[in-house]
Chains A and B, each alone.
Chain A
Amino acid sequence: MAKPIEKMGADEILVISRKLFYGGFCLLPLLWVYNILYIWPVRNRADLSPLVRRYLLLSGILAAMLFVYFSVWYGVFVKERLNWGARGDLLTVVLVKGV
């Protein structure tokens, strides 16, 4: 744990935000959420680069898109998995007893 975000310089925050943003593309949408949570308390600081806000915005949008995507996928999976037969069973982590 580094020092709290409130005490960091604007440059440091920018670097963190950028790293987290690009890191999110490695199938890591949680990093985008992480980015937002982390930077949120200082988002309105005067000396902050406007780039930080852009990273945050993009992070939020991308994370929301992935969330929607996975929600849809999961809904489809739950609804259709019994119809997929063996393929559906293969995808299922633990076969649910009963149904």
Chain B
Amino acid sequence: MITSSILLSIITFVYGLAALLYICAWVFKKELPGRLATATTVIAASGNFIGIILRWIESYQQGIGHAPLSNLYESLVFFAFCIAVLYLFLEFRYKLRVIGVVATPLAFLAMAYTSLRVDSTIEPLIPALQSNWLIAHVITCFVGYAGFAVAFGISILYFIKSSRGGLNGGFTSKIPHVDMLDELTHQMVMFGFLFLSVGIITGAVWANQAWGRYWGWDPKETWSLITWLIYASLLHARLMRGWTGKKIAVLSFAGFVAVIFTYFGVNLLPGLHSYQ
């Protein structure tokens, strides 16, 4: 019987393959590798989902059943799944395969990090995590992070495209117009912002239940607020004259750096969230 951790290790490579295929389709401007890339990503996302469900079942078989959203390993696996699903949605909606060039490597990196660095044993829940808010909090946060990850990817495409002065030709010809990229960044940031807001809110309600205060300036809380503030300023900056394109892409970059720091960097700082 295949275990969830073996399945998820395999899925890591499937994401890697999908990333390669998207890059091939982009570089050689061919339809076939593009279609294969889409199919591979669908397989990877489905396998990723099955892996999550399997892990859930395994935790019950070990008598410590809980939703697989309780530690760094499980959250990274879920993060990769969110990125893949969100990207596939974008691809089907806007018929844009080129975003896969930046989105699937992000899913691959998240999964690769789990297999290299993170302990994958299923642990029982410590008292602080025994709450239904855990599920709501983790799901909303990571759906939000996935939105920001895709926005970050699109911003990379923006820089590639605009570094060539928006000229069509060569590698950049398949990248949509900068206005479209700017608009898509905005869309993904709005999506991420809504979910991050709900993520922070569910976290606050949970903290009020577990620790007796809804906000305590704990490093993780503060960094999630920093992320929220950066994206809030991005959303407002678009209303200012002259603030489009490059400046927005820079803010989207900065925002994603804050997301990464909220996620990994905070473990280096002292605080209540550092058990992750």
Q: Do A and B bind each other?
A: no
